[in-house]
Structure 1
Amino acid sequence: MSATTTSPESNQVSAPSPVELTPDDYRRSLLGSTLQSVLAVLVALLLGGLLIAATDETVRESASYFLARPGDTFTAMWDAASSAYIAMFHGAVYNPHGSGPAGKLYPLTETLTVATPLILAGLGVALAFRTGLFNIGAQGQILIGATLAGYVGFAWQLPAGLHLLVVVVAGALGGAIWGGVVGLIKARTGAHEVILTIMLNYIAINLVSWLLTLSTFQREGSANPISPPIAETAMFPKLLGDGFRLHWGFVVAVVATVAVAWLLNRSTIGFELRAVGANPRAARTAGISVTKGFVVVMVIAGMLAGLAGTAQIAGTEHSLTVGIAASFGFDAITVALLGRSKPWGTFFAGILYGAFRAGGVTMQTSTGTNIDIVLVVQSLIVLFVALPPLLKLKSRRKEVAA
């Protein structure tokens, strides 16, 4: 942690050289083990269950005579929490009361549908994170990607197959441009990417709002800020038929996960990006262009987020609105964090968050549990993922100061 040197002339030990913790130390501290992520999820679910129990009316009634019959209170707490989580499972994975195999598995397809943009945007955040950049701009990159993809989808008339391909390319290009701007400015000026991406998020939102007031983007006969629907040739085909919302965008998310894993672990570019993220100074000494790495990684990260926007407009929404990105761009940050910024970790974290979103509605309608509990559980997961390494850093700072 601190270096101690001996002078050859005097044979005396010099004072330890000070060691400062850099932002890279904080970034690397969050790349912990998979076990920490699993434990974070379990503890968050446990505390979420306690919160569900605390807000349940039956539990409150039984608590009024807790000293007389404590077992009633604990039974009511278990019933409240377990029934809520069972309802969430039924809404996110498997519904035993569904009609036929299709009805029983429909919740799982909804989870995968919701998870698709989370996975794609999460991969963009994770990739930037591995290179030492905090990409907070996935929200804006999703919006710009969806805007270009939507325009090509409703304004261009192309043959089936080719039309969808051009839509996908346009969405990826939009996100790549929006992300590349951040990488270029940071490489040229050294401006912090967090500030740049946050500002570009606001620019993207207001830009899309303005575009939707123009006749080119305005749906005919509607006063609402919504674009015309994209052509059927520009839509992702349904993966399991018209009875399900799951579309081929999920396959794109799987392919993107494989591609990012290969890029990071098997390619020369990935090695350079990881080297930049591990130690920019050492990478520069080894002849790796750090500034080029910043631009390349932000272009790719933006492209992935742009694909998330394409999945939204070509897969589920089919029309451009200001709210088409929902909160996927911000949720992607927590997905990447939970996935430890690893491609397959991010993939499964995206599915988990998709399950929370899909099952939360069923939990609320079936048991009356407030859906905001799901948001609390998600926030607790992030807290428990980040807390242990941050405590280690605090301990390290004390050791350095001593």
Structure 2
Amino acid sequence: MSTASASAPAAPETQQPSKWHDTFLRITQGNAIISVLAVVLALLVGGIMIAFTDEDVQAASGYFFARPGDTLVAVWQSVSGAYVALFQGSIYNFNAVSFERGIRPLTETLTFATPLIAAGLGVALAFRIGMFNIGGRGQMLMASAAAGWVAFSLDLPWGIHMIVALIAGLAAGAIWAGIAGLLKARTGAHEVIVTIMLNYVAFYLISWMLRTPGLLQAPGSSNPKTPAMKETAIFFDLLGPQYNLHFGFVLVIGATVLVWWILSRSNLGFQFRAVGENPHAARVAGINVKNMYVYGMLISGALIGLAGVNQVLGTITTGFTAGIDAGIGFDAITVALLGRSTPWGTFAAGILFGAFKAGGFAMQAGQQIPIEIVTVVQSLIVLFIAAPPLVRTIFFLPSPERDRRRAEKARKKALKAEVAAEAELEGVAK
């Protein structure tokens, strides 16, 4: 018996992948690498567009077959010059006479990024609950109106005035978004349609208030613009008057930490994620899905409202018009998508888009690059993020689904071999 058992063939051992191979797969199959490569692809396509719109490239391409080197040099000069200008206009200006002047572009990037991060966090939070909040424009407008009215009409001590204006803006944004959450919870109305309509309602309501004396319009003025914000309500500078970076950036950092804590460490965040993954299963588990929709939209609206408050109290303190949102409400959707709806991912994406905004003006001024090129690059980022298989194909990255099928096939093959070995072992034993 023992001799027969000893002579039986052993079951083949399944080769385990190495630790480095497993790490490589996790990196190449993760969402973060797709976001990074989407940015790289967008910059490459943007470089092609820059080259095609450059006059020197067009002139050199006229005799390309006679002297192809001239065209290649012109392409390199146009693309490298544009992206160097983008870097120096958003990160650090090496041509500045002092370090203080050199880091000014970085402070401008952070200033542009501040409302983008706040609004992006609001959109990302709604995404995690399974809701599509595209009402950022309306929520920003209502928050701007509330915070602005408190800032220019009330006389309060320094500090208290700013806090009251901030709370008023957050509350207005939360209430405006909460309308969509309440309608979805109670009537089943789709939040996309509701938030789109609320954008129009907010825009025309604020436009009317800006043309009505006694509401938002500046006294004695016929222009649809508010009075200047009072000094006691304005966000203070972080690095001095020579920079535009203000206290709003600190608030945005705090908001990012708060959203991370809510989603990762709180019971409310667990319920948010459960509803976002499967509302029917969450309902069976005892979670009040309707309340989660309302709570989620309230918090989302408050975060987007913070972006509106930043515009009023930190950026445009001389008075604002109905264009105070500056397209940030829609840019926030792109920021949230690039950040994969995670708090710190959204924070990084907001800084990237802030760099595009700050550097785009430098590209236009220094290299005569159309500012629309930057907008195209931002749009391409979203396009590539929405098509992960395309990005994986271009960069020859392994597909998670393909590797999953291969692993399952290998597991079945190993199991089949093990069963065959056991059967042969029993036959020899008999």
- Give TM-score scaled by structure 2 length: 0.83
1:142-161 to 2 correspondences below 5 Å: 142-161=140-159
Provide Cα deviations, 1:119-138, integer angstroms capped at 9, x if missing partner. 00000000000110000001
Residue 194 of structure 1 deviates from its aligned partner by 0.4
Residue 198 of structure 1 deviates from its aligned partner by 0.4
Asked if structure 2 preserves the Cα contact closer than 8 Å seen for 1:32 and 1:340, the reply is no
The list of structure 1 runs, each at least 4 consecutive aligned residues, that deviate by more than 4 angstroms after superposition, is: 389-392
In structure 1, C-alpha distance between the alignment counterparts of 2:263 and 2:51, rounded to whole Å = 44
Query: 1:24 maps to which residue?
Result: none
Matched, 1:242 2:219: no
Query: 1:381 maps to which residue?
Result: 381
Query: 1:26 maps to which residue?
Result: none
Aligned partner of residue 206 in structure 1, secondary structure: helix
In structure 1, C-alpha distance between the alignment counterparts of 2:389 and 2:283, rounded to whole Å = 27
**Correspondence for 2:139 among 141, 144, 161:** 141
Query: 1:231 maps to which residue?
Result: 230
Residue 389 of structure 1 deviates from its aligned partner by 6.2
Query: 1:89 maps to which residue?
Result: 87
Query: 1:343 maps to which residue?
Result: 343
1:180-329 to 2 correspondences below 5 Å: 180-216=178-214, 217-318=216-317, 319-329=319-329
In structure 2, C-alpha distance between the alignment counterparts of 1:58 and 1:357, rounded to whole Å = 25
**Correspondence for 2:63 among 62, 65, 90:** 65
Provide Cα deviations, 1:278-328, integer angstroms capped at 9, x if missing partner. 111110010001101100000000000111110000001012310111100
Provide Cα deviations, 1:198-218, integer angstroms capped at 9, x if missing partner. 000000100100111221221
Aligned partner of residue 215 in structure 1, secondary structure: coil
Q: How many residues align?
A: 363
Asked if structure 2 preserves the Cα contact closer than 8 Å seen for 1:32 and 1:389, the reply is no
Asked if structure 1 preserves the Cα contact closer than 8 Å seen for 2:384 and 2:390, the reply is no
Residue 63 of structure 1 deviates from its aligned partner by 1.1
**Correspondence for 2:109 among 108, 111, 132:** 111
Distance 1:391 1:370, change over 3 A: closer
In structure 1, C-alpha distance between the alignment counterparts of 2:223 and 2:244, rounded to whole Å = 25
Asked if structure 2 preserves the Cα contact closer than 8 Å seen for 1:152 and 1:170, the reply is yes
Residue 221 of structure 1 deviates from its aligned partner by 2.9
In structure 2, C-alpha distance between the alignment counterparts of 1:354 and 1:377, rounded to whole Å = 13
Provide Cα deviations, 1:8-53, integer angstroms capped at 9, x if missing partner. xxxxxxxxxxxxxxxxxxxxxxx96010000000000001001100
Structure 1 unaligned spans of 5+: 1-30, 397-402
In structure 2, C-alpha distance between the alignment counterparts of 1:370 and 1:390, rounded to whole Å = 28
In structure 1, C-alpha distance between the alignment counterparts of 2:238 and 2:354, rounded to whole Å = 17
Asked if structure 1 preserves the Cα contact closer than 8 Å seen for 2:175 and 2:298, the reply is yes
**Structure 1 residue identity aligned to 2:68:** P
Aligned partner of residue 103 in structure 2, secondary structure: helix
Query: 1:334 maps to which residue?
Result: 334
Alpha-carbon RMSD across the aligned residues, in angstroms, is: 1.5
In structure 2, C-alpha distance between the alignment counterparts of 1:94 and 1:320, rounded to whole Å = 30
**Structure 2 residue identity aligned to 1:327:** G
Provide Cα deviations, 1:77-103, integer angstroms capped at 9, x if missing partner. 111011001011111111112231111
Matched, 1:131 2:125: no
Compare 96-105 and 149-158 and name the one that shifted more: 96-105
Asked if structure 2 preserves the Cα contact closer than 8 Å seen for 1:92 and 1:108, the reply is yes
**Structure 2 residue identity aligned to 1:183:** G
Asked if structure 2 preserves the Cα contact closer than 8 Å seen for 1:147 and 1:320, the reply is no
In structure 2, C-alpha distance between the alignment counterparts of 1:114 and 1:188, rounded to whole Å = 37
Structure 2 unaligned spans of 5+: 1-28, 393-400, 402-430
- Give TM-score scaled by structure 1 length: 0.88
Asked if structure 1 preserves the Cα contact closer than 8 Å seen for 2:211 and 2:217, the reply is yes
Residue 222 of structure 1 deviates from its aligned partner by 2.0
In structure 2, C-alpha distance between the alignment counterparts of 1:309 and 1:348, rounded to whole Å = 20
Distance 1:219 1:163, change over 3 A: same
Asked if structure 2 preserves the Cα contact closer than 8 Å seen for 1:127 and 1:297, the reply is yes
In structure 1, C-alpha distance between the alignment counterparts of 2:179 and 2:391, rounded to whole Å = 35
Residue 388 of structure 1 deviates from its aligned partner by 2.2
In structure 1, C-alpha distance between the alignment counterparts of 2:97 and 2:138, rounded to whole Å = 40
**Structure 1 residue identity aligned to 2:344:** W
Aligned partner of residue 286 in structure 2, secondary structure: coil
In structure 2, C-alpha distance between the alignment counterparts of 1:230 and 1:242, rounded to whole Å = 17
In structure 2, C-alpha distance between the alignment counterparts of 1:183 and 1:390, rounded to whole Å = 35
Percentage of pairs with the same residue:
57
In structure 1, C-alpha distance between the alignment counterparts of 2:234 and 2:156, rounded to whole Å = 12
In structure 1, C-alpha distance between the alignment counterparts of 2:278 and 2:371, rounded to whole Å = 42
Asked if structure 2 preserves the Cα contact closer than 8 Å seen for 1:130 and 1:341, the reply is yes
**Structure 2 residue identity aligned to 1:154:** F
Asked if structure 2 preserves the Cα contact closer than 8 Å seen for 1:149 and 1:168, the reply is yes
Asked if structure 2 preserves the Cα contact closer than 8 Å seen for 1:173 and 1:303, the reply is yes
Query: 1:42 maps to which residue?
Result: 40
In structure 1, C-alpha distance between the alignment counterparts of 2:107 and 2:137, rounded to whole Å = 24
Query: 1:173 maps to which residue?
Result: 171
Asked if structure 1 preserves the Cα contact closer than 8 Å seen for 2:152 and 2:229, the reply is yes
